[in-house]
Amino acid sequence: MPIQPAPLQFAADGTPFSEAYGDVYHAAEGGLRQARHVFLAGNGLPERWRGRERFVIAETGFGAGLNFLATWAAWRDDPARSRILHFISFELHPFRAKDLARLHAAWPEVLPLADELRANWPPLAGGMHRLHLDGGRVCLTLYFGDVREGLAQLDARVDAIFLDGFSPAKNPEMWSAKVFHLLSRRAAPNATLATWSVAGAVREGLRRACFVTEKAPGFGGKREMLRGQLFPHPRREDARPEPPAVHHAIVIGAGAAGSAVAERLAARGWEVDVIDAENGPGQAASGNHAGVLRPQPSFDDNRMSRLTRAGALYGWRHIGKALAAGGPLRAAACGVLHLARDAAQAEKMASAVTRLALPGELLRYVDAAEAGEIACWPVSFGGWYFPGCGWVQPPSLCAANLAAHPQGIRAHWARRVSAIERRGECWHAMNANGITIAAAPVMILAAGTGLAGFAQAAPLPVLSARGQVSVLPASTGSAPRAVICCGGYVTPEVDGLRCAGASFDVDDADPRARLTDQQANLARLEAILPGYTAGLDAAALGARVGFRPVSPDRLPMVGAIPAVKAAAPPASLATLPRHDGLYAISGFGARGLAWAMLVGETLASRIAGDPLPLERELVEAMDPARFLLRHRWKQAANITESDEG
């Protein structure tokens, strides 16, 4: 559902106000003071987060973010605070960043925090958005959409609940029995809640959802407020295994997938051993000179579209911070233009943009004239334009990820893992002579197409897709200066070269560059930019061949590896046995850059016991065990990929 931003409106006394709901966003006496009295003190904070590894708060209405800012400020001021603060909030009508700036200006005591929040504020697209703030110590997960849908999709164990929102009389959906029961199911043992409302229907709804509540002195003009605690009961829908006591993992593979999950674990304070058969990061399937990082929209906004959109947004936030920090990363958000093949496709692409109604900074349709200006080359049709996307040099991204936490990541180069074995509490990665290279309680197989070589991963239908990219000489400032796609892609000039391609051939093991593929890449380039290939000799161009791991349904394989080769009905993902501490991250196909960082964060969150950054249905759609439940895949010959590098 398209997101409708909240208009900036004020009551007569200057308090932020919503005409749509006929209610104020916070008490006239002050939003920060209300947050501290009702939500922080009402949940026993800061005392309850002290000495914890993580503390998780869920809020039912983000509004202007004052509850979050007050919580963040109190957490920063507490020397005994938890190591990590997770704050999850839901908002159907989020404010635009420029409107948040006006609202936050009234609260100078938290203005530095508010500035950082707005600097990371995502485009107002539906779904989950994970923001890493305060050097990664504060993790804000925003769900833009209906709170009932968001809570149903949330995978988290919540310690404290801020039950906020417009008045129950004005916005009853926010205070419905469904919301209360979903909060109960997401609550950790001994979870608490607080709210300014003491309405009888609210108290009864919470009681039915297994919360024990009591009235307490209210704030400002409200005489009373409500605080409560989850009543202990033995059956918890969201029971999750505890993370291992020893925070140590092995990652086999230092490509986009492996380096991403290694960086995300190391950011959490884990010790990570990265093992790769090559002499450095990103030398196999992730070794292209430049690749494309952008979403893949669809008219029905299917799982592929939602995953690539979430992945692109998270990926570019990660890249922006890495570029600001310096280091080896090479990338540029120069814009990506996806041209239509013909007039009929152009019409469909325009219709999809209208239907999706995404923010213009994320996606917009451009006609042929504007497309030609973006491409710096005449084109026949318009298409999709992604202003905030562009190219990334994959090996440099892998190197930057591994260099981000030098105290936490230890690399083992030119070491080929021939077998893995569980001994006691640890997984061992062994060479051809059976000698252990590294051992740890957690092991992550990010070995690309090499995943199929491990006996424990035998149930996973990993396919290999050969891709050949052509490398063209390019002068500085030459066209195109944006990434252009249409059945293939071409990048801007990067260090005197540009990439064009690419072939995608399943079960083709030929490692040599082929002239026929060079010619096919030039044909794709000519179709994208008519007249561009004049004078180019396919035989004289550079080339690179790589082998990408592909899943039968083209979605990634991310999660715990099943410990069975088949499942009999009525098995479910939740009931399938898994290898303890063994995970896979593979099957990216041609969309490795779009998925790597977000998928790495998802898997690291699962392993570490943190709230997940994606909706449950998307996480389940990536579960490696899905192929054991039903035959979903197509024949390998029918799998095609395009445009990405």
H-only helix segments in 389-434: 394-403
The residue among 157, 429, 404, 396 whose CA lies nearest residue 268 is 404
Residues 165, 195 contacting (CB under 8 angstroms): no
Does the N-terminal peptide bond of residue 566 adopt cis geometry, omega within 30 degrees of 0? no
Provide the pLDDT for residue 635.
36
- Map out the domains of the chain with their CATH numbers: 17-230 (3.40.50.150), 248-284+396-462+552-638 (3.50.50.60), 336-387 (no CATH), 463-550 (3.30.9.10)
d(CA 262, CA 253): 10
* CA 477, chain centre distance (Å): 33
Measure the CA–CA gap between 172 and 168, rounded to whole angstroms. 5
pLDDT of residue 277: 96
Length of the chain counted residue by residue: 645
Tell me the backbone φ, ψ of residue 643, rounded to 5 degrees.
75, -35
C-alpha 245/C-alpha 138 separation (Å) is 22
- Tokens found for residue 340: 């239509």
pLDDT of residue 31: 87
- Is-contact 209 178, C-beta < 8 A? no
Find out whether 535 and 526 touch, Cβ atoms under 8 Å. no
C-alpha torsion 275→281→286→292, nearest 10: 140
Distance from chain centroid for Cα 449:
23
Who's near 389: CB < 8 A, 6+ residues apart?
292, 293, 294, 295, 312, 316, 333, 335, 336, 483
* pLDDT of amino acid 523: 96
Q: What are the two backbone dihedrals, phi and then psi, of residue 574, each rounded to the nearest 5 degrees?
A: -70, -25
Residue with tokens 């199929």: 452
What contacts 315, CB < 8 A, 6 or more positions away? Answer: 293, 593, 594, 596, 597, 598
Specify whether the CB–CB gap between 129 and 122 falls below 8 A.
yes
SS3 breakdown of the chain: % helix, strand, coil, rounded to 5? 30, 25, 45
pTM of the model: 0.95
Phi, psi torsion values for 303, nearest 5 degrees:
-60, -40
pLDDT confidence of residue 231: 87
- Output the pLDDT for position 629: 85
> How do residues 560-596 score in pLDDT, each as one tens digit?
999 988 777 767 898 899 999 999 999 999 899 999 9
**DSSP three-state, residue 156:** coil
Which stretches in the chain have pLDDT values below 70?
Answer: 233-240, 570, 630-645
C-alpha torsion sign, points 427, 429, 433, 435:
negative
